[in-house]
Amino acid sequence: MSMKLKKLEKVLAVTALSLSFSLGMAYDVHAMVGGKPVIGISWKSNKQDYTAFKKIIELAGGVPVELGQIKSTDVKYDGDGAVDKSALEKSGMLKQKYANKIKAKDFAKTNIATVMQGVDGVFGTGGEDISPSLYKNAEKEKNHGEGINATRDISDYTLQAYCLANNIPTLDVCRSEQMLGVVSGAKMIQDLTDYYKEQGKTYHDDFHRMPPGTPNRDYARHDVHILPAHSHLREIVGADELKNVSSWHHQAIGSIAGTDLIQTAETTYNGVSVIEGVEYPKNTFTVALQFHPENDLKQVLINKKDAKDYCDTKVSLKFFQALVKAATEKATK
């Protein structure tokens, strides 16, 4: 087969796969495309630009697709696919009675099986705060008016729960790392400044994100300490520290006590520690990071920014290459 025909075959296969997801249809052919694993990108909104995510997954050796929105029949949606206002608190948080239905993890009441058909691995993206009604020990919203997207909460919660239950390789960043914690029953922190203030400690919010209102607001940068325990993260980084990561958050996993997660990384600043990575060791590859390696790859490899201002792109790409490798191995067993 000529190179042109091979290229055309790949384009047609990927186009068909992308179309099936956008229409909410089941994908009924083998998951691997052209010998490469299909990596689903978690749904953010119908207007989200996934171009950079797709290029990064392609650079790592995978075939990227946009996952469709995951919905629950227990919740009413409006004409645009957003959760109906009757199911929301004024803050935008999902009301408790609906959150409890989502926490039941009844996949039969969702379209998750259709959305995930033909997908070998998942990249879970960053985004808004999570409805604290979804926490194992539910809380009232106290995040100082930061955006909550209950529509996405339902989609992401179900996605994380499904991937855990079905041993689907996942790489989660920021919000998705936190959602893995929520689904796993971890103790969550709604606002780091408030949380440590209650403990008599001073937390510097600008360490993990630039303060709201900052001109040309961008990711904050700091180093991450890799814990000595055996983990995928340690294998990928190959050192005790990962320098200059991209960071943008004011919430975090507070404690994984009582869960099946392991902590893999942390930052400590002025005596205040924050969890920077967790994994679910019972599965093949469930790796979650509080920071954003995809941003460093986007800025350096796609936007051609100066690499010295960003985290090591070779290491950052290794996260996605490890996801692709795990997805390939699972799909070809």
Q: For residues 222 and 269, is the Cβ–Cβ distance under 8 A?
A: yes
Q: How far apart are CA 3 and CA 243, in angstroms?
A: 41
Beta pairing, strands 170-173 & 187-189: unpaired
Question: In whole angstroms, what is the distance from residue 78 CA to residue 150 CA?
Answer: 13
- What's the distance, CA 177 to chain centroid? 5
Q: Where do runs of H (alpha helix) occur along 110-217?
A: 112-116, 150-165, 175-184, 192-198
User: C-alpha distances in angstroms, 93 versus 96, 103, 179, 185?
Assistant: 9, 14, 15, 18
The token pair at 193 is 């400044």
Cα separation, 230 vs 45, in Å, equals 36
Nearest C-alpha neighbor of 50 from the set 79, 22, 86? 22
Q: What is the pLDDT of residue 212?
A: 63
pLDDT by residue, tens only, the chain of 333 residues: 444 434 434 443 444 444 443 433 333 334 788 899 999 999 998 778 899 999 999 999 999 999 999 999 999 999 999 999 999 999 999 999 999 999 999 999 999 999 999 999 999 999 899 999 999 999 998 867 678 999 999 999 999 999 999 999 999 999 999 999 999 999 999 988 887 788 777 766 665 665 666 667 667 788 999 999 899 999 999 999 999 898 887 889 999 999 999 999 999 887 888 999 999 999 999 999 999 999 999 999 999 999 999 999 999 999 999 999 999 999 998
Report d(CA 200, CA 20) in Å as an integer: 52
Q: Which CATH architecture has domain 38-332?
A: 3-Layer(aba) Sandwich (3.40)
Question: To 10 degrees, what angle do helices 313-331 and 51-59 make?
Answer: 80
Provide the token pair at 303. Answer: 């936007």
- Domain coordinates in residue numbering, the chain: 38-332
From the list 180, 199, 210, 194, the residue with the least C-alpha distance to 283 is: 180
Task: Confirm whether pTM is higher than 0.85.
Answer: yes
- Rounded CA gap, 185 and 255, in Å? 9
Residue 65 main-chain phi, psi, to 5 deg: -140, 150
Judge residue 249's burial from the number of C-beta atoms within 10 Å of its C-beta, 0-12 exposed, 13-18 middle, 19 or more buried. buried
> Of 310, 309, 282, nearest to 296 (Cα)?
310
Looking at residue 66, its pLDDT comes to 97
DSSP-assigned letters across all residues of 198-235: HTT----GGGTSPPTT-TT---EEEEEEEPSS--HHHH
Q: What is the dihedral of CA 69, 250, 315, 42, to 10 degrees?
A: 0
Task: Give residue for tokens 């796993």.
Answer: 184
